[in-house]
Structure 1
Amino acid sequence: MYRNILCLALGLIIGIRVTDIFEFFQLTEAGLGSTVMTRIAEEATPQLPTEEELARQLYNETRVLCMVLTMPKNHITKAAKVKRTWGKRCNKLIFISSQEDKELGAIDVGIPEERENLYLKVRAGMKYVYKNFVEDYDWFLKADDDTFVIMENLRLLLYPYDPEAALYFGHRFRTTFPQGYMSGGAGYVMSRDALRRLNLFALNNTRFCPHNQSSEDKGIGFCLQNVGVVAGESRDEKGRDRFWPLSPHSMLPTFPNNTWLHKLTFFEPVKETGSSSGISFHYVKSHEFDRYEYLLYKLRVFGVPAAPRRLPLKLEPRQLQNQLQVWSEAKSNNPNPVLYDPEIQPG
């Protein structure tokens, strides 16, 4: 009889403890238990970095020197606006002028301020940049003081490419030589090796790089082609141009498609609005710099969050060589003939 009583007591004790344990897990399922499971899930699928974190990484890994053409009368207007807005996101910002301005960061390259001297002014600027900064930065951007550049998108384009490859990017125009050239107004960016080739082999050779070019962008494009620098592809996945030689309103669908720009562009323009990963636009008025700064960097639209993303993979040497080969063989598919001298068109 005592054995039966003992077994019954042990059974009751064990049952009560099992019930307590069961209730404990039920009560903590939404608390401690869920926390543990969440932590396990997070460790299994790590969070992607934010775009702000990626932009900081790009700033450190894809170093861009910005060389902006200006003139004394624009130092306190357009040039100052560049410095206060997009120019502050360059790894290094200098202005090429005919008058030194230490506060602005302007260099006097000794070329008189005449439109016909723009080519000589850019050549002098490229020599100065090469002499002082070629080993300190990866990419070298030339822009005008009425250009606005989205530096984060520029670095994202450049990131996969080795700066020791001979290439440059911009808005590509057709002309009489096969590769064409990049619009000066939209801005163009060259690799370290492209800048090196331009200075070591082109600027000192009048056969490769004549002195009598009236169009700076076409002249530099001719020099670069002659020393083996390849015109890279800067359009987005839908064929939309990222470097834009006109103001942003010209990206709207209502803009006419029979302008000088559409007739001169290397590839047939697609019938799309501007690229969502655009890099630059031109003909920016002084009062518009702050407007674009606000719209791009301060205004946020609720309900349209930026999706987490990763940076593109860097190209392996063989992949890069294959890509350069494809680009060097690219032909213009724009059916419109050039019926005018492209050198007299706005940059």
Structure 2
Amino acid sequence: FFQRPPVVSCLHTLSDNEGDWSILPLLPELSHSFGKNSSWIVFLEEETNVKMTKLLQVLAKFDKNKEWFLGKPLHDQESTIIHHYAFAENPSIFKYPDFAAAWALSIPLVIRLANKVKEEPLKSDFTIDLKHEVALYIWDNGEGLPLTAVPELCTEPGDSPQTEHCATTLISEPPLCGEPVKKEDVFVAVKTCRKFHRERVPVIKKTWEKEALFLEYYSDHGDPSIPTINLGVPNTERGHCGKTFAILQRFLSSSVPNTQWLLIVDDDTLISLPRLRALLSCYDPSGPVGLGERYGYGLSQGVSMSIYIYPYIYIHFTYIFLYTAVVQLLNSGCKCYSNDAPDDMVLGMCLNALRIPVTHSPLFHQARPEDYPRDLLAHQVPISFHKHWNIEPVAVFNKWLKDDWSSKPSAGLNKSLKTEL
């Protein structure tokens, strides 16, 4: 099968374009770099194991001279806000790839899409759920290609006996790169407001608050029974930039314990702090980092490091900062243009200007478990969900987030691509 070993590249090394992680702006570069000498481009996640011989056997079933979009299909059970309620009448009709199983494009399709990207600006300025948006772009309102299901692209653990037919599997252990970060190294800031003191705060107290050694509730009203701290910033219905920056300033003051990490969450966030502390073991505490579920704005424009083109983390549920990142942010003069400015996007612009990495983890979720495909959640160990709408939040926490795997033995997280030749 092998005339020469396959080329393995990390997306962030292929060009200086900040939007490379969103795939579509990178297609012209992929077409130029690999189009003449390759038949397929296969996209993998860091947790994907590959049996290379089996993968080549699978790809050989498809005519490499034709256009193919291959993957393990996911679909929505119901229309969801994270996909802008697309296909509301029948959400299950549209299939998009589970990135963890790997997905592939034939070079003829890569070339056509690359030309399209160069000739026509991408329609959306926002990148939210990449796997769904890539599939929509390739499908092109029915004028392009649907996803072709490939059973050999799997998301079962690599040590499962049911994976003999699989070309790809997943690393079975959750992320753990060393000893979990200690409780005393994480400060938790909860954003709330007076109208939610009796509705949302009790859920936190019944679920995950006890796992936090240092935690404060920040509100527009001081309530000693919780207690909450009034930061002097009025509540706003939209963005909460003023409140978020007041939290950042307080974090660097002598009013709170000195910790390595700052976790900012909304008051309707459900989160496993033990799982989070295990994940944080994978990051160097000496360098600035922002961590959460990454979005993007203007990434399709392809201009590197522009103030108008940047990744950002959806801050209304989970945002994790290293202390050094907060110091650099505030020392840079970064600030809100109004109290109700979108804090996630303002922070995204500032982090981008400072070249502080905005790091994505698929284990953070901006919505409820009901808003994600069952097959996707089946192979995840989620860290957080968001929103109490139309659910019983304590029951959701107990089902999805209560168990503490951070104390269990782990082989560690191998962030390199594994292949079996």
In the superposition, the TM-score normalised over structure 1's length comes to 0.58
Give SS of 2:234's match.
Answer: coil
Q: Cα gap change, 1:169/1:275 in structure 2, threshold over 3 Å: closer, same or farther?
A: farther
Q: Which among 311, 319, 342 is matched to residue 215 of structure 1? A: 342
The question of whether the paired residues in 2 share the 8 Å contact of 1:78 and 1:286 is answered with no
Q: Which among 165, 172, 179 is matched to residue 310 of structure 2? A: 179
For residue 368 of structure 2, what is the aligned residue in structure 1?
A: 247
Q: Cα gap change, 1:63/1:288 in structure 2, threshold over 3 Å: closer, same or farther?
A: farther
For residue 282 of structure 2, what is the aligned residue in structure 1?
A: 160
Whichever of the two has the greater Rg, that structure is 1
Q: Which among 192, 204, 224 is matched to residue 102 of structure 1? A: 224
The question of whether the paired residues in 1 share the 8 Å contact of 2:292 and 2:364 is answered with yes
- C-alpha distance in 2, partners of 1:231/1:182? 7
Offset of residue 58 of structure 1: 2.6
Q: Which among 73, 87, 90 is matched to residue 212 of structure 2? A: 90
Offset of residue 286 of structure 1: 9.2
Q: Show the 5 A alignment for 1:188-267.
A: 188-201=319-332, 205=333, 208-212=334-338, 214-234=341-361, 241-253=362-374
For residue 409 of structure 2, what is the aligned residue in structure 1?
A: 308
Counterpart code for 1:172 = R
Deviations 1:120-152 (A, max 9, x none): 111112111221367621111111111111112
Deviations 1:181-201 (A, max 9, x none): 001233110111111112222
Deviations 1:142-177 (A, max 9, x none): 111111111122112111222221111111111034
Offset of residue 243 of structure 1: 1.0
Identity within the alignment, %: 23
- C-alpha distance in 2, partners of 1:312/1:62? 23
Which runs of 5 or more structure 2 residues have no equivalent in the other structure? 1-172, 299-307, 417-421
- C-alpha distance in 2, partners of 1:59/1:91? 12
Give SS of 1:156's match.
Answer: helix
Give SS of 1:110's match.
Answer: coil
Give SS of 1:115's match.
Answer: coil
Give SS of 1:290's match.
Answer: helix
- C-alpha distance in 2, partners of 1:134/1:275? 37
Counterpart code for 1:276 = Q
Counterpart code for 1:140 = L
Offset of residue 116 of structure 1: 4.4
For residue 64 of structure 1, what is the aligned residue in structure 2?
A: 186
The question of whether the paired residues in 1 share the 8 Å contact of 2:313 and 2:319 is answered with yes
Q: Cα gap change, 1:71/1:274 in structure 2, threshold over 3 Å: closer, same or farther?
A: farther
Flag the structure with higher helix content: 1
Q: Cα gap change, 1:64/1:307 in structure 2, threshold over 3 Å: closer, same or farther?
A: closer
Q: Cα gap change, 1:147/1:216 in structure 2, threshold over 3 Å: closer, same or farther?
A: same
Q: Cα gap change, 1:126/1:251 in structure 2, threshold over 3 Å: closer, same or farther?
A: same
Matched, 1:129 2:255: no
Q: Cα gap change, 1:105/1:160 in structure 2, threshold over 3 Å: closer, same or farther?
A: same
The question of whether the paired residues in 2 share the 8 Å contact of 1:62 and 1:139 is answered with no
Q: Cα gap change, 1:298/1:307 in structure 2, threshold over 3 Å: closer, same or farther?
A: closer
The question of whether the paired residues in 1 share the 8 Å contact of 2:272 and 2:402 is answered with no
For residue 288 of structure 1, what is the aligned residue in structure 2?
A: 392
Offset of residue 218 of structure 1: 0.9
Q: Cα gap change, 1:73/1:93 in structure 2, threshold over 3 Å: closer, same or farther?
A: same
For residue 383 of structure 2, what is the aligned residue in structure 1?
A: 279
- C-alpha distance in 2, partners of 1:178/1:274? 34
Give SS of 2:310's match.
Answer: coil
Counterpart code for 1:231 = V
- C-alpha distance in 2, partners of 1:223/1:308? 39
Q: Cα gap change, 1:250/1:116 in structure 2, threshold over 3 Å: closer, same or farther?
A: closer
- C-alpha distance in 1, partners of 2:318/2:254? 21
- C-alpha distance in 2, partners of 1:290/1:150? 13
- C-alpha distance in 1, partners of 2:320/2:190? 12
The question of whether the paired residues in 2 share the 8 Å contact of 1:130 and 1:199 is answered with no
- C-alpha distance in 2, partners of 1:86/1:135? 20
- C-alpha distance in 1, partners of 2:266/2:188? 10
In the superposition, the TM-score normalised over structure 2's length comes to 0.48
Q: Cα gap change, 1:246/1:296 in structure 2, threshold over 3 Å: closer, same or farther?
A: closer
Q: Cα gap change, 1:117/1:149 in structure 2, threshold over 3 Å: closer, same or farther?
A: same
Q: Cα gap change, 1:275/1:172 in structure 2, threshold over 3 Å: closer, same or farther?
A: farther
The question of whether the paired residues in 1 share the 8 Å contact of 2:288 and 2:356 is answered with yes
Offset of residue 89 of structure 1: 1.1
Offset of residue 109 of structure 1: 0.7
Counterpart code for 1:185 = H
Which runs of 5 or more structure 1 residues have no equivalent in the other structure? 1-50, 235-240, 254-270, 301-305, 320-347
